Amino acid sequence: MRSTPCYSTSMSQSITQRELPKTSGDIMRQLDQGETFIATRNGVPVGELSPLGRHRLVKAEAADAVFRNAPPIDAARFRKDLNEVEI
């Protein structure tokens, strides 16, 4: 799943260590088109190839872990701060 609708048509494809050298040109073209690949070795995922500059969706559990110990936010003060920002 992607964070923006324009990237929602592609999901990660799995590619083996042996396939990487043989299909690198095709993989690069697909990366240019926004595709993402999970590289595997002996059937075990070991890495991810993804296009640069694309926004990625963060899993709720990961965001939860990051913000679990964050200080509380005063909603009224936060809204006031946002309203004062000039774009």
Res 11: pLDDT: 65
Give, for all 87 residues of the chain, the pLDDT tens digit: 334 444 444 468 999 999 999 999 999 999 988 899 999 999 999 999 988 875 667 788 888 988 898 888 999 999 999 999 887
Q: Give rounded-to-5 percent helix, strand, coil for the chain.
A: 40, 15, 45
How many structural domains is the chain composed of?
Answer: 1
Q: Report if pTM > 0.95.
A: no
Res 86: pLDDT: 81
> At CA 69, angle to CA 63 and CA 72, rounded to 5?
95
> What's the chain's length in residues?
87
Range of the domain at 78: 5-84
